[in-house]
Amino acid sequence: DDGYRLWLRYDRVADESLRATYAAAFTEIALPAPTRPGFSLGSIEAARDELTTGLKGLLGVDLSTVSQPTRDGALLLGTAVRSPELAGLVSEADLRAASEEGYVIRPVIFAGKRCVLVLGNRDVGVLYGAFALLRHVQLHEPIAGLNLVSAPRIQRRLLNHWDNLNGFVERGYAGQSLWRWFELPDIVSPRYRDYARACASIGVNGTVLTNVNANALVLTPAYLQKVAALANVFRPYGIRVYLTARFSAPVEIGGLKTADPLDPAVKQWWTDKVAEIYRIIPGFGGFLVKANSEGQPGPQAYGRNHADGANMLADALVPYGGIVMWRAFVYDNNVPADRHTQGFSEFQPLDGQFRSNAIVQVKNGAIDFMPREPFHPLFGAMPQTPLALELQITQEYLGQSMQLAFLGPLFEEVLDADTFRPNAGSTIAKIVDGSVDLHGISVIAGVANIGDDRNWTGHPLAQANWYAYGRLAWDHQLTSAQIANEWTRLTFGNDSAVVQPITSMLLESHEAVVNYSMPLGLHHIMAEGHHYGPGPWVDQAGRADWTSVYYHRADANGVGFDRTKSGSNALAQYAPEIQNLWGNPATTPDNLLLWFHHLPWDYRMKSGRPLWDEIALHYQSGVDTVRTWQKAWATLNGKMDDERFTHVKQLLARQEHDARVWRDACLLYFQQFSKKPLPAGVEPPEHPLDFYKAQQIHFAPGHPGAH
Ligand code: BDP
């Protein structure tokens, strides 16, 4: 099994009596108000097709489609708007709860038959309902008492692809881009539909096709036709297409002399461009913009600010219902004392100046998707501006597609973080979903981990990260434990001898990677450029804040970045409650300690151990945990297909090796400063420090310099 089917496997239910129960419950598909005239495939038809294929696989039955139920067991699909007689079968409260995109699934009597109703307010709700019902069956859940009502908490649930037009994916570790730009629009790979099915099955409803390090060419007519071909495939699956807009496009492809956002000719150029886009791509979602960061062009080149830039694009998009997502991940050559502070300093003062269809997109932390990072201080600090949360699904700093790091717990930690703004309980989830400041628009974005590898994500278990992102984007109240369990059962079957070990591995894995790479709040100590493996010694890298020494600041006195009043005071950008908590090492959680404090090597930890020992033991524990997974995985031999079994087995062996390299390299490096022996229980390093320093990866996947 090559893993292509992801979590939509639809393998036959092995338990015959269970299968018979399902088969009796689902006998035909009834569409009282089908097909929108003029549309070859709408969301309801996509729902019908998915149910037909899925139930054929699961139950071995061919369901026919009828317009009215002819017997008991009809699956009744429809929307409240177009089938009022179906809406009448459920309460108003249920319909309200299903809101714009959700669904109600429940047994009903209709036309004298016992049916299962899959009702949405809109067509796409029926599609999401179909996937929910198929998931229910795949998880072998009972049909008796079936009652599912669900709606997403965040409106726009996006994947951000960092895909270049040349096919190379920046920070992508699963092959080349899915989008075959050269072939499009003439050749439309069936894979695009499978991508859309997978996204829709977890509620993803938007996709930014192109890299934030943008190429203006995608806005030229020839490329817009290619984009339109993809948009046509995605539309029935409820997925809008978005593009990254290179700020200097008016100069690069428009022949203008300037891209100044206040210049009337520039405004006109974007107004015309947006009109052209909507002519070619109906339902286009809008733009994502990285400006004045890492060399990307932006309004500051013309003495304007981020709001000037964002508003100019927002104005062009507003007649069509489009949005602009303007990224707050900014830093440039005017390095402040601490890069941590720059995003906040540039954006917070602009609160209130953005148009209502301009969203500021903020990474979960202020530095850059570190293995663990405190939440970004902008969350809660811009109450008048809707903020989008940007998560990284691709594992740039978490072992890429070589290492298992299930990100459900990380995403959950971020979503649940309390900003204390305006008061306790104002979590990032509630700020992002708009409930704290009552915004009319809400967005979440995940940087995709998908490429054209046959199994989509390189590491078979990394599929779980795509899944977890979508599920949490739909409902941030789900727990990562629930999601891990669901995904494992969907992907490897319901045998508890398989589910239990895999679920435990998944749930331990993010912390284990943190432990063997950057424990206790250490950060940005990876190898330069490709970011794979350790590099605490990196001290030359073009700019200070690309080095490791800038972040760990190890010296004879200790280690860590002092971000309190005695240091960079980045902490001042957080709410007073957070400042009190994290301003004092004794009340800072261990896992963020060295993010905020520079502490002596013999600093007494909450455990009673000296800091040096604690660091060393964390590195060791990360390695130990990986070894327990190798043992657990061995028990699965014969319980799944050989292909996935062997692939993961090999990956775990590689991970164990790489975890040791992290541990040995970092401990040897820091030992030069601590001058202390390794505590009992920590294995001695295999090689001297110079050996690790000499290791070099020349061509790593996903690295901008690699193509
Ligand atoms: C960093 C990546 C870089 C991205 C940048 C961004 O290393 O490749 O371009 O973030 O998010 O994480 O813009």
212 lines ligand 1 (CB under 6 A): yes
Tokens of 377: 């201080």
Give the model's pLDDT for residue 704: 85
Per the CB < 8 A criterion, the answer to whether 447 and 160 are in contact is yes
Question: From the CA atom positions of the chain, what is the Rg in Å?
Answer: 26
Is pLDDT at 317 greater than 60 in this prediction? yes
Q: pLDDT: is 52 or 84 the higher one?
A: 52
The 3-state DSSP class for residue 249 equals: helix
Per-residue pLDDT averaged across 75-99, rounded? 94
* Residue 400 host element (H or E): none
Q: Is residue 571 domain-resident?
A: no
User: For ligand 1, is residue 435 a contact (CB within 6 Å)?
Assistant: no
Residues in the chain, total: 707
pLDDT (mean) for 437-445? 95
Tell me which residue has tokens 């690309």: 546
Alpha-carbon distance of 588 to 565, in angstroms, equals 15
Closest protein CA for atom 2 of ligand 1: 171
For the Cβ of 368 lying below 6 angstroms from any atom of ligand 1, the answer is: yes
| CA separation for the pair 559, 538 (Å, rounded) | 15
CB 642 within 8 A of CB 539: no
Q: How far apart are CA 371 and CA 529, in angstroms?
A: 16
Q: Which of 166, 170, 570 is nearest to 392 (CA)?
A: 170
Rounded distance between C-alpha atoms, residue 61 and residue 69, angstroms: 17
Ligand 1 centre distance from Cα of residue 289 (Å): 13
Co-location of 213 and 132 in the same domain: no
Does 529 contact ligand 1 (Cβ within 6 A)?
A: no
pLDDT given at position 663: 98
Residue located nearest, by CA, to atom 1 of ligand 1: 368
What is the Å distance from ligand 1's center to 171 Cα? 8
**In terms of domains, do 181 and 78 share one?**
no
CATH code, domain carrying 334: 3.20.20.80
Residue nearest atom 11 of ligand 1, based on CA coordinates: 329
Residue 217 scores a pLDDT above 50:
yes
Q: Residue 294 Cα, ligand 1 centroid: separation in angstroms?
A: 8
Give the CATH number for residue 524.
3.90.1330.10
Structure tokens at 166: 């040349």
Average pLDDT over residues 103-110: 97
For position 70, which CATH number holds? 3.30.379.10
Q: Which helix (DSSP H) or strand (DSSP E) does residue 306 occupy?
A: helix 306-317
Domain-embedded: residue 466: yes
Mutation choice for ligand 1 from 212, 367, 447, CB with most ligand atoms inside 8 A: 212
- Is 9 contained in some domain? no
Cα 170 to middle of ligand 1, angstroms: 8
In a domain, 327, yes or no: yes
Beta strands in 338-471 (DSSP E): 358-363, 387-392, 443-447
Exposed/middle/buried for residue 206 (C-beta within 10 Å: 0-12, 13-18, 19+): buried
Please, how many CA atoms are within 13 Å of residue 82, restricted to the half-sphere of its CB? 18
| 417 and 518 inside one domain | no
Q: What is the pLDDT of residue 558?
A: 98
- For atom 13 of ligand 1, which residue has the closest CA? 212
What does the pLDDT average to over 188-206?
A: 98
Given 456, 477, 498, which residue is the final one in a domain? 477
209 CA → ligand 1 middle, Å: 16
Ligand 1 centroid from CA 83, angstroms: 47
Name the DSSP class of 558. Answer: B
Do 64 and 175 sit in the same domain of this protein? no
DSSP symbols for 266-303:
HHHHHHHHHHHHHHHSTT--EEEE--SSTT---GGGGT
Residue of 164, 213, 361 to test ligand 1 pocket, by largest number of atoms within 8 Å of CB:
213
Atom of ligand 1 nearest to the CA of 368: 12
308 lines ligand 1 (CB under 6 A): no
User: Does residue 373 line the site of ligand 1, with CB under 6 A?
Assistant: no
Q: Given 115, 150, 185, which residue is the final one in a domain? A: 150
Residue 39 confidence (pLDDT): 43
Please count the structural domains in the chain.
Answer: 3
Substitution candidate for ligand 1 out of 391, 396, 523, 543 with most atoms within 8 A of CB: 396
Q: Which atom of ligand 1 is nearest to the CA of 171?
A: 8
pLDDT of 41 reads 66
Catalytic residues, by residue number, are 294, 368, 396
Q: Of 449, 477, 505, which one is at a domain's C-terminal end?
A: 477
| C-alpha dihedral (578, 584, 589, 590), degrees to nearest 10 | 150
- Phi and psi at residue 559, in whole multiples of 5°? -150, 155
pLDDT value of position 38: 43
Report yes or no on 469 lying in a domain.
yes
The CB of 612 under 6 Å from ligand 1? The reply is no
Question: Order of strands across the sheet with 64-66?
Answer: 64-66, 28-30, 74-79, 113-120, 103-110, 148-150
Residue 234 clears pLDDT 60, i.e. is over it: yes
The answer to whether residue 145 scores a pLDDT higher than 50 is yes
The identity of residue 281, as a single letter, is: I
Q: Are 302 and 260 in contact (CB under 8 A)?
A: yes
> Does the beta carbon of 396 lie inside 6 Å of ligand 1?
yes
- Residues 374, 271, single domain; the answer is yes
Whether 327 has a pLDDT exceeding 90, the answer reads yes
The pLDDT value recorded for residue 628 is 98
Q: Which region, left, alpha or beta, applies to residue 107 given φ > 0 means left and ψ of -120 to 50 means alpha?
A: beta
**What are 376-391's pLDDT values in tens digits?**
999 999 999 999 999 9
Gap between the Cα atoms of 516 and 110, Å rounded: 59
Q: Do 53 and 101 have their domain in common? A: yes
**266 with 408, same domain?**
yes
Nearest to 44 by CA among 71, 81, 8, 73: 81
- Centre of ligand 1 to C-alpha 293, Å, is 10
Amino acid at 16: E
331 lines ligand 1 (CB under 6 A): no
Using CA atoms, how far apart are residues 593 and 583, in angstroms rounded to an integer? 10
**pLDDT digit string, tens, across residues 531-579:** 999 999 999 988 899 999 999 999 999 999 999 999 999 999 999 999 9
Q: What is the pLDDT of residue 34?
A: 55
Q: Which of 304, 289, 302 is nearest to 247 (CA)?
A: 289
* 522 and 389 within one domain: no
- Asked whether 502 and 640 are in contact (CB, 8 A), the reply is no
Banded model confidence at residue 428, pLDDT cuts 50, 70, 90:
very high
Regarding the beta carbon of 128 and ligand 1, being less than 6 Å apart is answered no
Residue 491 lies in a domain: no
329 lines ligand 1 (CB under 6 A): yes
Q: Per the domain annotation, does 161 fall within a domain? A: no
What pLDDT does 332 receive? 78
> 155: closest CA among 119, 198, 102?
102
Q: 284 and 241 in contact (C-beta within 8 Å)?
A: yes
Q: Are residues 183 and 144 in the same domain?
A: no
Q: 144 with 177, same domain? A: no
Mean pLDDT on 156-172: 98
State the Cα–Cα distance between residues 78 and 186, nearest whole angstrom.
34
User: How far, in Å, from the CA of 480 to the mean position of ligand 1?
Assistant: 26
Backbone angles phi, psi at 688, to 5 degrees: -75, 165
Per-residue pLDDT tens over the stretch 442-485: 999 999 999 999 999 999 999 999 999 999 999 999 999 999 99
| Torsion sign over Cα 648, 650, 656, 659 | negative
Strand 64-66 to strand 240-244: parallel, antiparallel, or no bridges (unpaired)? unpaired
Provide the residue range defining the domain that includes 387. Answer: 169-477
C-beta 369 within 6 A of ligand 1 = yes
**188 token code pair:** 């439309």
Helices (H), 101-186: 123-138
Question: Considering the chain, what is the average pLDDT of its residues?
Answer: 96
Report how far apart, in Å, the C-alpha atoms of 214 and of each of 68, 268, 273 are.
50, 21, 16
Share of the chain above pLDDT 70, in %: 99
Task: Write the residue with the smallest CA distance to atom 12 of ligand 1.
Answer: 368
What would the DSSP string read from start to end of 561-582?
---STTTT-GGGGS-HHHHHHH
Claim to verify: residue 145 and residue 178 sit in the same structural domain: no
Query: Is the minimum distance from the CB of 700 to ligand 1 under 6 angstroms?
Result: no
Å from CA of 396 to ligand 1 middle: 9
- Other CB atoms within 10 Å distance of the CB of residue 67: 10
Q: Using the mean position of ligand 1's atoms as its centre, give its distance from the Cα of residue 541 in Å.
A: 15
170 lines ligand 1 (CB under 6 A): yes
The answer to whether the beta carbons of residues 173 and 400 sit under 8 Å apart is yes
Question: 3-state class of 252 per DSSP?
Answer: helix
Residue 600 has a CB neighbour count (10 Å cut-off) of 15
Over residues 272-290, mean pLDDT: 98
H or E stretch at 611: helix 611-634
pLDDT tens figures, 2-42: 999 999 999 999 999 999 999 999 999 999 875 555 444 69
Name the 3-class secondary structure at 67: coil
In terms of domains, do 236 and 330 share one? Answer: yes
Residue closest via CA to ligand 1's atom 9 equals: 213
Q: Is residue 508 part of a domain?
A: no
Tokens standing for residue 159: 């994947």
Ligand 1 atom closest to residue 212's alpha carbon, by position in its atom list: 13
CB of 290 closer than 6 angstroms to any ligand 1 atom: yes
Report pLDDT for 9.
Answer: 98
